[in-house]
């Protein structure tokens, strides 16, 4: 028997639970921040020690060699930039050689690199092979052929002139 009644247990209100929860999150975030701050400082110290070791191992000869290597590296990068945009005019010949029909013979070629044009003259055994040659040139997207003239030769072959405009990317 109880003479003094015990007060009923009260459950904490949601506001109180939320308050405790936020305080706990705040404390945990501060602890994490401190942990990461100490980690950062320790890594900075390690890094500075490693840099000191590296600098102590470098002799004047090594430093001089590194400077020379850097000069060569700068020259190489400068030359690479120059050659990257250089046009190799001789690349047009093997490119055209692949595009010329095996029964077509070229007798003359005039090159105009400023206007990206080539004027070729030659002969083919007949008109059918000449039309095949023109189709081969038209099928290449880097070339734009324009048929100039065609005549019958002394021995029955077809003599022709074709002007070809080409894309300068062929020359790179």
Please give the pLDDT value at position 1: 56
The CATH number assigned to the domain with range 89-171 reads 3.30.1360.100
How crowded is residue 130: how many other Cβ atoms within 10 Å of its Cβ?
Answer: 23
Give the DSSP H/E element, type plus range, for residue 123: strand 117-124
Contacts of 126 (CB under 8 A, 6+ apart): 157, 158
Distances (CA, A) of 53 to 35, 47, 48: 27, 10, 9
Question: What's residue 62's pLDDT?
Answer: 83
Q: How many helices (H) and strands (E) does the chain have?
A: 4, 4
- Listed by start position, the domains of the chain span 14-84, 89-171
Q: Is the pTM of this model over 0.95?
A: no
Q: Cα–Cα distances in Å, from 36 out to 23, 30, 85?
A: 20, 10, 50
Determine contact, residues 160/145, Cβ cutoff 8 Å: no
* Mean of pLDDT values over 6-31: 89
pLDDT digits (tens, 9 = 90+) for 116-126: 899 999 999 99
């Amino acid at each position: 028997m109880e003479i003094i009644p015990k007060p009923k247990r009260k459950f904490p209100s949601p506001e109180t639970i939320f308050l405790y929860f936020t305080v706990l999150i705040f404390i945990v975030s501060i602890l994490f921040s401190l942990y990461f701050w100490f980690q950062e400082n320790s890594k900075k110290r390690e890094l500075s020690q490693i840099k000191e070791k590296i600098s102590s191992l470098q002799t004047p000869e090594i430093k001089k060699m590194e400077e020379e290597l850097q000069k060569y590296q700068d020259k190489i990068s400068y030359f690479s930039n120059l050659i990257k945009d250089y046009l190799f005019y001789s690349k047009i010949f093997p490119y055209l050689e692949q595009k010329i029909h095996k029964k077509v013979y070229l007798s003359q070629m005039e090159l105009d690199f400023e206007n990206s044009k080539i004027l070729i003259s030659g002969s083919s055994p007949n008109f059918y092979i000449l039309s095949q040659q023109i189709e081969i040139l038209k099928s290449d997207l880097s070339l734009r052929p324009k048929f100039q003239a065609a005549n019958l030769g002394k021995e029955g072959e077809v003599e022709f002139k074709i002007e070809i405009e080409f894309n300068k990317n062929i020359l790179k």
